[in-house]
């Protein structure tokens, strides 16, 4: 079972830069090995579930940004 959390991913294509919140997946050593292609959406079965997800997402703003350069 892989470990994951939310992370900010910076995508740059030519001069255009975009930041999004993605799910990032880690290997057994804690190194990011992959992330979702598209940013995640915030959905839930209740307001409390949305709040919990948003609180988890806010934590990723304090972590190093993953740079995904598109060539």
Domain boundaries, the chain: 3-69
**What's the confidence (pLDDT) of residue 1?**
53
Strand partners, 5: 24
- Spatial strand order of the sheet with 16-26 comes to 32-35, 16-26, 3-13, 66-69
5-54 confidence digits (pLDDT tens): 999 999 998 889 999 999 999 999 999 999 999 999 999 999 999 999 99
pTM of the model as a whole: 0.86
């Amino acid at each position: 079972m892989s470990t994951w959390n939310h992370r900010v991913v910076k995508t740059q294509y030519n001069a255009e830069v975009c930041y999004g919140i993605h799910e990032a997946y880690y290997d057994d050593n804690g190194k990011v090995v992959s992330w979702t292609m598209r940013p995640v959406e915030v959905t839930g079965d209740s307001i409390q579930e949305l709040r919990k997800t948003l609180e988890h997402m806010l934590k990723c703003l304090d972590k190093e940004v993953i740079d995904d350069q598109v060539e």
